[in-house]
Structures are given as C-alpha cells and as structure tokens.
Amino acid sequence: MITKILCTLATLTIAATPLASQEKVVDPKDVQPLFRDDRTMDITILADFKQLFKDRDTLKEELIPARLIYDAPEGDHDTMTVNLATRGHSRLQKRVCDFPPIKVYFPEKDKRPPLFKGQGSLKLVVTCKPRRDDYSQYVLQEYIIYPIYNLFTDMSLRARRVNGTYIQEDKGDTVAVSPAFWVEDADDMAKRNGGTRFRQAGVRYGDVEVQPMALLGVFNYMLGNTDWALQVLHNVIVVKIEPGFYHPVGYDFDFSGIIKTPYALPDQRLGIRSVRDRLYRGACYEMEQFAPIIAMFNEKRDTIYDMYRNLEGLEEKKLKETLEYLDDFYDVINDPKKVDREFRYNCS
C-alpha cells in the first residue's frame, strides 16, 4: 500500500460557507474543548465489557462503571471514572456487531477535567467487528464524513478521531484495539450556532430553511445515503433559531453507499437494489435553488478528495472506490439534464 502522508484536517479545512443569513459565525471558544483539536487522540477504556455487551435492549439503558485513560492536552495521560452504556439500533444487534456503539457518561461538572468540560455524555462510534480489518475501514470512512460536512456549514456535528484500546478490567485482557470517534453532542452543536434543538416530529420540508435543506439532500445524495427522514427526525436534527428559522442537520452515515457496510440494505419501498444506488430523498426545489448548493460542492471538490487521500489508515482499494464513487456524483451535478432527472424528476 502506498504510504500516505499524514495531513491533519486543520491543514485541509477551509472556512464553512454560511448557508443562510440566520447562521452565525461560530467563535472557536464556543466549541467544546474536545472538538477544538483535529488530532487523533489515544484512549484506553477499562470496563466489564462482557457485561456491557449483554445489554442489547434499545428500550432500557444499563450503566457499567469504567475507567477512561486519555491523552491530555499537556501531552500526558490522564484518567477519569466514567459510565458506559450500549446504544444504537442496527449496530446494537448481536448478529450485526460484535462491539456495539457505546455512550460514555462523564462525572459531575466539578469532577470533569478541562478537556471534557461541558460534556455530560458523548457517543463513541466504535469499530463494529474489531477483529476484521474491513470494519476498521468502515469506521474511518464514516468518521471523515463529519469534517467534510463541516466544510459546508458550522450547522453540523463535529467529530474527533480516536485510537481506542478496550480492556476487560477484571482480567486485564485486551478486548479490542481499533479506530473510533467521538461525536459532538447535538445540543452543543445547536447552542454554538445560537439555537436550540427542536425535538417534535412532523417537520415538513416547507417548515425548514431552503438552503440547509437543499444541502442536506444533495449531501446525502453524494454519500448514497437514503437512511434518513426529516418528518420523523430519523438521522436528522432540527435546530431552531429564533424568531423561527429551522435548520436540518444530518448525522449517522453508516448506511451510506460510499461506505458500503455489509449490513447496510436500502428500504425496499425505495425501489433501489443496493445502497450504492443513489436516490435523492430531499425536498423538491427549482433549479435556481439547487444552483448555489451545486456551486459549493464544485468549489470544495478538491478539498474533499484530498481529505480522503490523506485519511490515515484508509486502504488504497477503498480510496480508489471512494473517489470513483465521488466522480459519479460530480458527473451528475455538472450535467444540467442529469441534475433535473435526479433531483427534480424523481423528487416526491
């Protein structure tokens, strides 16, 4: 495999383009400390993982005590007592994942170290089957989608890449060593953008701002992601900014065709055979409303490609497949007839 030059996202990232006049310019100080740094952090979690992995119930949450050892900003290692719980839906099923996604609950405010200041709990997206190299590739591919989304708008969740080691505490046995990533809390994202999270289902396309909605639709089309629905807030967060602006924000991209996980299957009602088959599921807009969004994707094309090329650990085969998949997307958005066919003719 060709050796990749490690290039931090800080080098690649360009300023997010405001999508609407309601978007504020985010002050870096408003971002929680954990997500101000793009560098990969090393963590070790010691817990009773055997007990944790027994909890595959989506209706209840059993907290398991654990110790989190992490890279402190000063360059040393620090330790914190936390609690863990399993989470998720598809990946929570034992037949899908040996290692389900987890949620980390941090101690009370006065006991949290500076790096985790303001964090009550966070999602940790882990490698689903850590003994298989291909699953490590999937989690890297899912991770990079978040900073790519950040290129377009600050109204998006941030992520922090992790090298994780997980140890069965009573015996000292290593359960797994694999990549993972933290996902910013949705309420924190809304707050730093001057808004609050709107949690009531039944949101319609006409209720949300046009440009953020068009971005979300085209962005998910680029990814080949059909696993989202605004109306029921499925893998969509809505941020309300007073006096009454609503911004949709996407998350949870593991069913995307650009990743192609083995467990990702499209909804049969959509009429597509594979998650690799793109299908636009966004709002129906006129061409002039899509035009500025398409211009943004073209403006950021080289940066997006470079972010994949410089994603440390991504195998050459996966890189080639990903760039070819992106090539197909750019072929569509730069052909007016294909844009009309894909984003308007099939729109419902």
**Residue 14 confidence (pLDDT):** 34
133, two tokens: 């190299």
- CA-nearest of 219, 212, 159 to 189 is 159
User: What mean pLDDT value characterizes the chain?
Assistant: 90
Of 7 and 240, the structure prediction assigns the larger pLDDT to 240
Stated pTM of the model: 0.91
Assign 156 to helix, strand or coil: coil
Query: Stretch 173-193: mean pLDDT, rounded?
Result: 96
Q: Is the pLDDT of residue 24 over 90?
A: no
- CA-nearest of 302, 213, 305, 292 to 258 is 305
**CA 297/CA 320 separation, integer angstroms:** 20
φ/ψ bin of 172: left (φ > 0), alpha (ψ from -120 to 50), beta (otherwise):
left
Quickly state the pLDDT bin for 3 (edges 50, 70, 90): very low
Which residues, at least 6 apart from 275, have a Cβ–Cβ distance to it below 8 Å? 224, 225, 226, 255, 256, 257, 260, 264, 265, 266
Q: Is the pLDDT of residue 81 over 70?
A: yes
**CA 342/CA 294 separation, integer angstroms:** 13
- With the C-alpha atoms ordered 202, 204, 209, 210, is the resulting torsion angle positive or negative? positive
Q: Is the pLDDT of residue 221 over 80?
A: yes
Assign 33 to helix, strand or coil: helix
Q: Is the pLDDT of residue 18 over 90?
A: no
Query: Stretch 31-53: mean pLDDT, rounded?
Result: 94
Q: Is the pLDDT of residue 164 over 60?
A: yes
Quickly state the pLDDT bin for 110 (edges 50, 70, 90): confident
* Paired strand residues for 50: none
Contact criterion met (CB below 8 Å) for 286 and 278: no
**Residue 21 confidence (pLDDT):** 53
75, two tokens: 């360059």
DSSP of 74-129, one letter per residue? TSSEEEEEEEEEE--STTTSTTT-SS--EEEE---GGGS-GGGTT-SEEEEE--SS
**CA 321/CA 259 separation, integer angstroms:** 9
Contact criterion met (CB below 8 Å) for 102 and 124: yes
Q: Where are the domains of the chain?
A: 16-23+38-186, 194-345
Contact criterion met (CB below 8 Å) for 166 and 101: no
Q: What is the percentage of the chain residues whose pLDDT exceeds 90?
A: 78
Quickly state the pLDDT bin for 77 (edges 50, 70, 90): confident
Assign 50 to helix, strand or coil: helix
Contact criterion met (CB below 8 Å) for 309 and 4: yes
**Residue 72 confidence (pLDDT):** 77
Q: Is the pLDDT of residue 208 over 70?
A: yes
**Torsion angles phi and psi, residue 143, rounded to 5:** -55, -50
The two counts, helices (H) then strands (E), for the chain are 9, 10
DSSP character at residue 30:
G
Of 6 and 38, the structure prediction assigns the larger pLDDT to 38
For 268-320, the pLDDT digits (tens) are: 999 999 999 999 999 999 999 999 999 999 999 999 999 999 999 999 999 99
DSSP character at residue 4:
P
Q: Is the pLDDT of residue 180 over 90?
A: yes
**Residue 348 confidence (pLDDT):** 56
For 185-199, the pLDDT digits (tens) are: 999 999 999 999 999
Residue 287 is inside which H or E element, if any? helix 287-299
Contact criterion met (CB below 8 Å) for 36 and 28: yes
